[in-house]
Amino acid sequence: MDIGEGDRVYVSDLTFAASVQPILYVGAEPVFIDSEPESWNMSPAALERALEQDKRAGRLPKAVIVVHLYGQSANMNALLKLTEAYGVPVIEDAAESLGANYGNRPSGAHGLMSVYSFNGNKIITTSGGGALVSDRPDLVERARKLATQGRDNAEHYQHSDLSYNYRMSNVLAGIGRGQLEVLSDRVAARRAIFERYVDGLSKIPGVGFQMEVEGSIGNRWLTVISLDPDEIALHPYQLMRSLKARGIETRPAWKPMQMQPLFSDIQFEPHMPDRAVSPGLFLTSLCLPSGSAMSVSEQEGVIEAVTDILASGGQS
């Protein structure tokens, strides 16, 4: 895609740092696009504003990286309508959304390129690594060359490009391919876990959940709750510590990229000119246990503990 020094690349603000660091690897400039409050994914309103501003300035981005957060699809129809109007390609960060669907197509099947993660905590794992997919054979071939030390098509060992060793071993690839046969089962298990959390916790005033955009089916890789501070005095970290004391591991939500020390000087485009969404989601959300192998009784124990702690204000 010839992205390099001085080029701008938009990327979702509420994500893991791995979505952003490749932009820095090539010397390009990231621009963080805020979340929308419903899906928690990239805000079409913020994207539109950023594109309008950069078109006027004569510096449109070379790409937009759209992250499908926690396994739920972004509003791709709205986002693609904007990027196509401005002639900017989309790269889907589907690291967390393998097995999800949007508009009757798999998550990751809408952009110019997409990436998936097979890290140890993902719905399918090879212990590490991932995959890049595209309908463009030239991009796939270029990526394959860069990932395998950049050897030229010559009889001798010849290298013309700075490249890397990002290959996955055949053994690990085989482990991953074997799990593809049970992908739909794992998605069904994660979605059932999400539904039980909704049934058990949504009756508590102030507890909310990440919504799916219309026309999408998320894989519910992680179930994440939000705590409305106007109705729940307990901070998510206080809930996390109280659950830990009961032997239940939870994790904070992703910290927005604009709040990371590494990216403190990077431009951020909020959802609305006077309202940023992703910082609030970070400060009010908590990831609950969501593993595919989680039993109903184990989950009932989590629901009971969360309910008890919130009811007591963290005193139990």
* Angstrom distance (rounded) from CA 67 to CA 204: 30
* Angstrom distance (rounded) from CA 2 to CA 6: 11
Among 65, 12, 74, 36, which Cα is nearest to 212's?
74
Q: How far is CA 88 from CA 54, 65, 73, 82, 97, in A?
A: 12, 10, 20, 9, 23
* Angstrom distance (rounded) from CA 139 to CA 1: 8
Q: Is 34 left (phi over 0), alpha (psi -120 to 50) or beta?
A: beta
Whether 244 is a known active-site residue: answer no
Between strands 29-33 and 8-12, the pairing is parallel
Which of 55, 81, 122, 145 is the catalytic position? 122
Task: Report residue 21 as tokens.
Answer: 């660091």
Q: What positions carry a catalytic annotation?
A: 122
